[in-house]
Amino acid sequence: MDGPGLALQGENLGYKRLGLTVLLVFISKSLLAVAAYLGWGVPGLAVADLTGTVLWGVAYVYIAKSRVGWFGIGRPRFDEIRGFIALSWWFLLWNLVITVMIASDVVVLGIAGSPQLVTTYTLARFVPQAIVVAVATIIFAIMPGLGGLVGVGDLPRAIKIRNETMSLVWLFSIATGAAILIWEESFLRLWVGPQYYPGAATMLMIVLSVLQFSLIRTDTNIIDLTLDLRHKTELGAFSAALSVVLGWLFLGPFHRGIIGLVIGFILGRMIQSIGYPFMIGRMLGIPPEDQLRGVIRPALATAAIFVVGTARGKVVHAHSWAVLVLGGGMSATAVAVLAYFGGLSESMRRTVWRRLRKVVRLV
């Protein structure tokens, strides 16, 4: 999937897969849900996951071949192979780092915690992670080719596109995250039972962790455009290792349960949350003080919205799936409007609105 997808992105044609991408996200997640609901166990989940992956691959190859004239298979020269291997080594290491970042929390919980905690944590973060994947896929599909702007040295426009990308990721993540804080207890109660709800404070930390990870992945994708993977990978490896250590420390010796695990990972990833924007700032010529001023307003809006969402989650309950779906959609929409006006500057609101209008016309 990466090859065809990156070919489309490099040609500024990422939006051509927007509608299909959204559909594939829902299909692949629905296959997993059906396999779990029918009780097919691990083999059934594996088949469902493989089926979804094949569908993604076939769809992306078809779109790339129909939209990109040069896409195909060719015989590379030896110097191209050597340069590709040298660069792929860092990509390989980064894939290892990102795998540790994504899955190590469950492993640590299984080793230092218990199977019951693993089950509760996995169920509680299922919806947040699924939404993050969908949001990230949509955002990078609709954004123009930032790599081309960096390549030709158009740094002012590259800075604008980067700020727009981060604002959109933040806006969608805040809207869905607040809706999760409000309705997660009802969702888990209707799905598997109230005993699997980890508590309002724990859910707040899980949603914050997911938001942090979404912003980190956005910056890492931007850094990839420079092909300067060494520093990104080294910083990510250290941060991932520290996250594992802190997560184990809070979970095991300090006996803080799931919330301690999540806090440990959030603290460990702060190295990336600070380091990657600094790297992008050097690349695009953005002073650190400008970046710091730019995050104050969204950070305050995030704190206010998540605090209110957590409080509302303690008193709002849905007793049917219809009410849950309707309430979740209305909550996400309302929070998106509040975040749009409360967390974004006037200039960024105009920029985001123009982008969303373009996406609506394309879809």
> Could you list the pLDDT tens digit for every one of the 363 residues in the chain?
556 766 666 665 665 665 667 678 778 888 888 888 888 888 888 998 899 888 888 888 887 777 777 777 777 777 767 766 766 778 788 888 888 888 899 999 999 888 889 999 999 998 888 776 776 666 565 555 666 666 667 778 778 888 888 888 899 899 999 999 999 999 999 999 999 999 999 999 999 999 999 889 888 878 877 777 888 999 999 999 999 999 999 998 888 899 999 999 999 999 999 999 998 888 888 888 888 888 999 999 999 999 999 999 999 999 999 999 999 999 999 999 999 999 998 988 998 888 777 766 655
Residue 80 lies in a domain: no
Same domain, 50 and 151: no
57-90: pLDDT as tens digits = 888 888 777 777 777 777 777 776 776 676 677 8
Q: Tell me the C-alpha distance between 198 and 84, whole Å.
A: 46
What is the C-alpha radius of gyration for the chain, rounded to an integer number of angstroms? Answer: 21
Q: What is the pTM of this model?
A: 0.79
For residue 140, the model assigns a pLDDT of: 61
Per the structure, the count of domains in the chain is: 2
Is the alpha carbon torsion for 42, 45, 51, 52 positive or negative?
negative
Q: Are residues 53 and 180 in the same domain?
A: no
327 and 195 inside one domain: yes
Q: Is residue 83 part of a domain?
A: no
Domain that holds residue 217: 89-362
What pLDDT, on the 0 to 100 scale, is given for residue 273? 93
Q: Say whether both 95 and 57 belong to one domain.
A: no
Q: In which residue are the tokens 């060494």 written?
A: 230
Of 74, 106, 122, which residue is a domain's last?
A: 74
Quick one: pLDDT at residue 230? 84
Do the domain assignments include residue 79?
no
Tens-place pLDDT, residues 174-217: 999 999 999 999 999 999 999 999 999 999 999 999 999 988 98
Within-domain flag for 354: yes
Q: Which of 242, 231, 272, 250 is nearest to 104 (CA)?
A: 242
Cα angle 295, 135, 207 (rounded to 5 degrees) comes to 60
> Domain check: are 227 and 269 in the same one?
yes
Whether residues 163 and 225 share a domain: the answer is: yes
47 found inside a domain: yes
What's the CA gap between 72 and 58, in Å, rounded? 14
Q: Of 20, 47, 74, which closes a domain?
A: 74
Q: Give the per-residue pLDDT at 15.
A: 57
70 and 201 part of one domain? no
User: 24, 51, 74: which is the final residue of a domain?
Assistant: 74
Whether residue 293 lies inside any domain: the answer is yes
Residues 235 and 341 in one domain: yes
d(C-alpha 213, C-alpha 211), whole Å? 5
Model pLDDT, residue 336: 94
In this structure, the answer to whether residues 68 and 115 fall within a common structural domain is no
In order of 12, 85, 209, 360, the CA distances from 354 in angstroms are 17, 40, 29, 10
